[in-house]
């Protein structure tokens, strides 16, 4: 008798089509990544003189895209929509100059948006960007600094107190993760001589983190705002933007008792 367990597994036509589409998308993503890597390597010599931004073929021809980097849900990676990333990047760049240093903590989609905006500026006017990120795929960028929030101060010593502004998106909604990111941010930000010169601080995380975020960043006067970043995927968690300033894109939410 023929053992049914030995029967070959067959997929439906729909399943085969979906598998083929997935593989095609993966191949395109890999091709785009290799193209990006090659372009950055070719133009790497322009890094420090251009505020850490390599003048690459990718800069000249077409904007960078987060679609080159697949989300890893096991790493709690959820990219912002292009619209939300641009809103955040524009606020970080407001008032920035070539002497400004902008830090991006675990928010690569905002980093890509920043890169796409500043590439249109003369090299001499571009602010310096620093991407603090755990995902080593982003080390293709000269601005990349490896960051593990479990070791919040294990960073190059020369970066202490260098940031004029920062955006932070902790990957996990718990007090430990939020606290360690805040410790890193405080270490990286420039000391403020007066309340009038506080750095620009943006924290994007869950609505449920409101109390701990406002507590951790109280010295920077960070509060919840009316802006709710959207994600390109289907993230069900309700996201808030917390910031140390108001702007045309958001105002502070009224405080509740």
Residue 139 lies in a domain: yes
User: Residue 48's pLDDT is what?
Assistant: 36
DSSP track, 177-239: HHHHHHHHHHHHBPPPSSGGGPPEEEEEEEGGGHHHHHHHTGGGT-EEBS----BSS---SPE
Residue 198 belongs to a domain: yes
Higher pLDDT, 47 or 38: 38
DSSP code for 250: B
Q: What was the pLDDT predicted at 58?
A: 40
The total domain count for the chain is: 1
- Residue 212 within any structural domain of the chain: yes
Mean pLDDT, rounded, for 59-86: 83
Residues in the chain: 257
In a domain, 37, yes or no: no
The answer to the question of residue 151 being in a domain is yes
SS3 for 117? helix
The answer to whether the CB of 214 falls within 8 A of the CB of 187 is: no
Separation of first and last alpha carbons in the chain = 74
Q: Which of 13-22, 62-71, 131-140 has the lowest mean pLDDT?
A: 13-22
pLDDT higher than threshold 80 for residue 180: yes
Helix (H) or strand (E) segment spanning residue 49: none
Of the chain, the percentage scoring pLDDT greater than 70 comes to 74
Q: Is residue 18 part of a domain?
A: no
Which segment of 54-63, 103-112, 159-168 scores lowest on mean pLDDT? 54-63
Give the C-alpha separation, 22 to 179, whole Å: 38
Find the DSSP H helices in the chain.
Answer: 13-42, 57-61, 82-93, 108-118, 175-188, 210-216
The pLDDT value given to residue 72: 79
The stretch 129-150 carries a mean pLDDT of 96
Q: What is the CATH number of the domain that holds 135?
A: 3.40.50.150
| 187: containing domain | 72-243
Chain segment 1-32, per-residue pLDDT in tens: 445 556 666 656 665 555 554 454 444 445 54
Residue 60 lies in a domain: no
Higher pLDDT, 164 or 21: 164
Weakest mean pLDDT among 45-54, 201-210, 227-236: 45-54
87 is a domain residue: yes
215-237 pLDDT, tens per residue? 999 999 999 999 999 998 766 67
């Amino acid at each position: 008798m023929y053992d049914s367990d030995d029967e070959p597994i067959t997929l439906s036509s729909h399943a085969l089509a979906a598998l083929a589409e997935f593989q095609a998308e993966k191949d395109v993503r890999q091709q785009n990544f290799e193209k990006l890597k090659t372009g950055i390597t070719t133009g790497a010599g322009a890094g420090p003189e251009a505020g850490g931004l390599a003048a690459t073929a990718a800069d000249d021809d077409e904007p960078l895209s987060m679609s080159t980097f697949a989300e890893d849900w096991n790493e709690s990676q959820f990219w912002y929509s292009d619209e939300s990333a641009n809103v955040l990047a524009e606020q970080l760049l407001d008032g920035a100059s070539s002497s400004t240093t902008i830090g991006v903590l675990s928010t690569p989609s905002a980093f890509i948006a920043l890169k796409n905006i500043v590439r249109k500026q003369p090299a001499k006017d571009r602010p310096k960007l620093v991407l603090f990120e755990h995902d080593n795929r982003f080390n293709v960028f000269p601005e990349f600094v490896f960051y593990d929030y479990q070791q919040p101060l294990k960073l190059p010593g020369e970066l202490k107190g260098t940031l004029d502004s920062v955006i932070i998106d902790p990957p996990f909604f718990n007090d430990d993760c939020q606290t360690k990111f805040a410790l890193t941010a405080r270490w990286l930000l420039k000391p403020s001589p007066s309340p009038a010169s506080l750095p620009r601080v943006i924290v994007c995380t869950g609505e449920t983190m409101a109390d701990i975020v406002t507590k951790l960043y109280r010295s920077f006067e960070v509060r919840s705002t009316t802006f709710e970043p959207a994600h390109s995927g289907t993230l069900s968690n309700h996201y808030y933007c917390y910031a140390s300033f108001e702007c045309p894109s958001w105002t502070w939410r009224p405080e509740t008792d």
